[in-house]
Amino acid sequence: MANSTGTRQPLAHAPARGSRLGWLDALRAVAALVVVYEHALNPLFPELRSVTGPWFDAGMYGVMVFFLVSGYVIPASLERRGSVAGFWIGRLFRLYPLWAVAVAAALLLAVTGVDPMHIWLTQRPASAVLGHLTMLQDLLNVPNVLNVLWTLSYEMAFYLLVTALYVVRAHRRSAEIACGFGAAAVLAGGVLPSVLLSRGAGATLATVLAVVALVGCGLAGVLSGRRAGALVLGVTVLGLLLVNGRIPAWQSLTILATMFAGTALYRAREGQIPVRRAAVFAGSVPVAAVAAALWHGGGAVWPWVSAVLAAWATFGTGMLLANRRVPGWWAWLGLVSYSVYLLHPVLLEIVDGLLADPAAVAWPYRAGLGVVVLVTLLGAASLTYRLVEAPAQRAGKRIAARILVGE
């Protein structure tokens, strides 16, 4: 395999695995459907929010499962490829084509008046466009064109940190890094500021431009084999997470701790680190998440706490049942889960425009409309997977393969 400088070298303990892992697809399917349920409450079933909302945040549960899955698979993808360039080509072709379709759909809703654009996005177009193109918009105080895009900012932050750690040969310290993020969430998460760098139009644009330049230079550096590039990436991302996130720092740090804990569990399962080490360090993360929420989150944190603990329980159950066969339909739903995740807000915004007061509409009508939305969503997800996601991923693999051959 090739290292960050382009030369090839062996990687110890490289996992031998198939193209897909069924249990991870099953977890993605569960996470996607739960997020859809959460976002369907306001436009379709507002009564249910008063039933589940006070004790369980379904949306946070779903995204935490997604974060654990990403932590488990993303570093493995980089290390299996053995090429930073190949990894990033794969990520770009995996994320951006469907992202572009979803953003275009959101803009169409805005143009047609179905879902007017946030005024901030029209008044500060340069910041909005550049912020979204980096996918770091939620860490730049740029409102999301689609509400679900905020999670992609943390995915992107994780990819950049994983790349930096790989280049400086610190990628095997996932368990300790997870514990460190968790400890920081508890000890400092309540005193760190939010959007410190992006207060005001001028400051936001300056921050966006600086981040674009720093991330660009950092990636160029690591692609050319310079460790200084890794330092630039690490410092930039950590700075945004610590002082410029839209959500409180304790939540941002908990998310990163969760993702690196997923990586530690992967390493333990593959025999790269001792199981006891992973259990101690990664196992401290949900404890730290609860402690940080109770200490820094104020009074209304139990829905968040229960969601995080349930996500960990779900992921642990998935690991225990990893050798079981996953039904084909369930695995398929996991396969198209990215499409389900990005497209469902578009459909629900249309529903929201149809039902001015959903509570005043009879339950059977709303239930039937919910079934129509779900069937339409799965059909659209199937189409976008076949026409957008799969072809883009194949193109990314071809380009990455050519680069690896050239190295």
Cβ–Cβ under 8 Å, residues 189 and 250: yes
Map tokens 């996953």 to a residue.
326
Average of per-residue pLDDT values in the chain: 92
Q: How confident is the model at residue 19 (pLDDT cuts 50, 70, 90)?
A: very low
In a domain, 12, yes or no: no
* Token pair listed for 309: 């603990």
Q: Write down the pTM of the prediction.
A: 0.93
- Expressed as residue numbers, the domain containing 309 is 22-406
In a domain, 16, yes or no: no
pLDDT of residue 356: 87
pLDDT value at 188 more than 50: yes
Cβ–Cβ under 8 Å, residues 12 and 50: no
pLDDT value at 70 more than 90: yes
Residues sharing a CB contact under 8 Å with residue 10, sequence separation 6 or more, in sequence order: 1
Rounded CA separation 215/297 (Å): 31
In a domain, 7, yes or no: no
Q: How confident is the model at residue 74 (pLDDT cuts 50, 70, 90)?
A: very high
pLDDT of residue 21: 79
pLDDT value at 7 more than 60: no
pLDDT of residue 81: 86
pLDDT of residue 12: 36
3-state class of 286 per DSSP? helix
* Token pair listed for 324: 């079981």
pLDDT of residue 306: 97
Residues sharing a CB contact under 8 Å with residue 143, sequence separation 6 or more, in sequence order: 118, 120, 121, 128, 137
Rounded CA separation 222/237 (Å): 15
Strand partners, 2: 8
The residue with greater pLDDT, 122 or 97, is 97
pLDDT value at 83 more than 70: yes
Q: How confident is the model at residue 15 (pLDDT cuts 50, 70, 90)?
A: very low
In a domain, 121, yes or no: yes
Mean pLDDT on 36-42:
97
Q: What is the pLDDT of residues 139-148, one digit of tens each?
A: 999 999 999 9
pLDDT value at 340 more than 90: yes
In a domain, 94, yes or no: yes
In a domain, 147, yes or no: yes
In a domain, 174, yes or no: yes
Mean pLDDT on 225-247:
96
3-state class of 2 per DSSP? strand
Rounded CA separation 94/393 (Å): 6
Q: What is the pLDDT of residues 344-391, one digit of tens each?
A: 999 999 999 999 899 999 999 999 999 999 999 999 999 999 999 999
Mean pLDDT on 299-320:
95
pLDDT of residue 298: 83
Q: What is the pLDDT of residues 105-115, one digit of tens each?
A: 999 999 898 88
Q: How confident is the model at residue 405 (pLDDT cuts 50, 70, 90)?
A: low
pLDDT of residue 16: 36
Name the domain count of the chain. Answer: 1
In a domain, 322, yes or no: yes
Strand partners, 5: none
Residues sharing a CB contact under 8 Å with residue 36, sequence separation 6 or more, in sequence order: 340, 344, 374, 377
Handedness of CA 355, 358, 364, 369 (dihedral sign): positive
